[in-house]
Structure formats: structure tokens, C-alpha cells
Amino acid sequence: MKTTDAAPSAQDAATPGTASIATRSLKVAAGLFTVLIGLTLCTLIDGSELQAAEPIWSNQITPLSRRQGAEIRPVRLLYEVSWSKWLQAGTIRMNFDPQQGAAVQARAKTRSSGPVRAFWPYEGSTRTTISAKTLYPSRFEHTQREHDERAEYRATYRNDRMRVESSLTPTDGRDTEHETRVYELGQIRDILSTLLYLQQTELRDGKDIVLLVQPLDRLYLVTFEVVGSEARMVFDKTWKTKKLEIRIRKITDDFQLAPYTKMRRATIWLSDDDYRVPVEIQADLRIGFVSVRLASLDAPQRR
């Protein structure tokens, strides 16, 4: 499908073909948080133990440099996902809860909604335990259900080693498939710890931030280019924001970098305040234009 800037007509939106595109758009948009900014849900591959010499690109990864006065605050976020900013496709709820100890509990729930849900009933849930000091995850869990198909991912991170166990229960009555992948690499972040990193780090105009991101069981090298400050209207509120352009490269099984061709470009706007949360994400994909916009922010008192 050729991507245009025009919103679909009401007649188009009522057709299964257009709704199908919107459902695929939500699948990618769910990936913007529970699977990150423009990343589509990954397919299961053969389990293996992946060991290699330190890749050349590993020296590109940006170390954490906390901004002055940065504080991890409890926050509840609600996002609306839409196709071409017109057809509502789903919602994403996200919580960040700093604990009294040295951990942050982060959760996200994604759900298709509206006319899209009739064609693609999707629900996804992500839970991550993150070190408040390093902002690296120690444990990651993700479950998703499409129609009657269920997929689960559980990852642990220890001593520069990530182990992720996957299971897929098909809808056709076949046995559940189990896979395990082990990456002997450090500096791996899941989606929610990546967002926490962007919240806590210094964002200087013109700076590139390069992170090694694990959406589910695959790795990507993601670059966030800090474009600058911008006033951004989201629904009925104008936010002071930091604008970041996003570039994604896949990491192959032999640890080489490869283009990510499912996304033409993506942009994220982070609120330029104490919370530094995404207020909008736009992704221009091969299947169409997807936007994720902040509908509400709730900041409960610390426990």
C-alpha cells in the first residue's frame, strides 16, 4: 500500500481491508511501547546460545549520563493509538513505580479497541523489573494474545548475559512451541527500561543516543537523535517537548547490523518537564501512518 498523508474516508474505514491495515498498524504501535517505536512483533526462531566476540558496533552504545535533578517518579500513563490520526485502533496503559529498595517496577498493557477489535482482538501485557541505579532490567515478562493464539516471553539479565524463553500456543490445536535464546552481551535494555533511560538521561540538542534494545527475543540497535525543543499540541494540551528522531537497525544472528525496512521514519516527543514522558510518537511504516498520543497522566504520591 502506498502511504499518503490523507486520512481514510468513513467508507474506507468500514471495509475489512482498511480495518485490516489499521489492525496491523496497532500491532506495530503496540510495538512502539511494549515492543518499541516502530518495531513489529518479532516471530519465534530456533533456540540457540549466541556467543561471539564483542561486536564492533558495541562501542557506539551511549553510557548513562543522568540529567541534573533527575528523579524517578511514580506515574500512570494512558495512550491512544490511531491510524492516520483518524481511526482509533487501541490503547496503551503504562505504569512506573519506584520501590523503596533499589528497583523500579514498570508495566504496560496494550489492547485493540473500536472497529479494529472486531477484526483483530489483541491484548498484550508487559512487566519489567529495572535497577534504579543502572536503569538496566533484571527481569522482563511479556504475554500477548491474538484471537486464540497466545505467546509468552520471559527474559532474565545477569552478568552481561540475557536469557529469553519463548512459548507459542497456536490456534489450530498443535502443541505449544518452546524456544530459548541466550545472548552473551551486556547493555541490553527492554522497551520500558529504554523509556526510563530517556527520562533520566541528559538530552542535549544535536546529540545521538544509541541503545541496544530487546523488544521480545530479538536485538536492535536504536539511535535517538535529539533534534531540539518544540511546543507540541496533543489533544487539547500544548506541551513543551524534546523532539527525537529514531533510526533502527536490526542485529543479525551473526551480530552484524542490517537495515530495518518496515519503518521509513519515526519521531518521539518527550515532555520537557520533571516527568519526561512520551507525549506523542509518530511512525511512517510500509503499511501506513501510526500515531500514539498521551491521553492522560496521573502522578500518585510515593508509597
Cα separation, 182 vs 164, in Å, equals: 6
C-alpha cell of 253?
544472528
Residue 292 carries which DSSP code?
E
Distances (CA, A) of 9 to 22, 84, 136, 165: 13, 11, 44, 43
* pLDDT, averaged in runs of 10, over the chain (303 residues): 35 44 51 40 34 74 90 94 81 93 93 83 93 94 89 91 89 81 90 95 94 90 96 95 95 89 88 95 83 92 59
Residue 302: the pLDDT is: 57
Residue 131: the pLDDT is: 94
Contact 122, 148 (CB under 8 A): no
Cβ neighbours around 178 below 10 Å, total:
12
Q: Spell out where the chain has E strands.
A: 48-50, 75-83, 87-98, 103-112, 122-131, 137-146, 149-157, 162-169, 177-183, 188-189, 208-213, 220-234, 237-251, 257-259, 263-271, 278-285, 288-298
- Give 41-45's long-range contacts (Cβ < 8 A, gap of 24+): 41/144, 41/215, 41/216, 42/215, 42/216, 42/217, 42/218, 44/151, 44/166, 44/168, 44/177, 44/179, 44/217, 45/179, 45/181, 45/217, 45/218
Residue 10: the pLDDT is: 37
Cα separation, 83 vs 67, in Å, equals: 34
Residue 3: the pLDDT is: 32
Partnered with residue 28 across adjacent β-strands are none
Contact 25, 287 (CB under 8 A): yes
User: CB within 8 A of 248, min separation 6: which ones?
Assistant: 37, 38, 39, 220, 221, 222, 223, 260, 263, 266
| Residue 270, helix vs strand vs coil | strand
* Cα of 215 vs its chain's centroid, Å: 7
Host H or E run for residue 115: helix 114-119
C-alpha cell of 129?
523489573
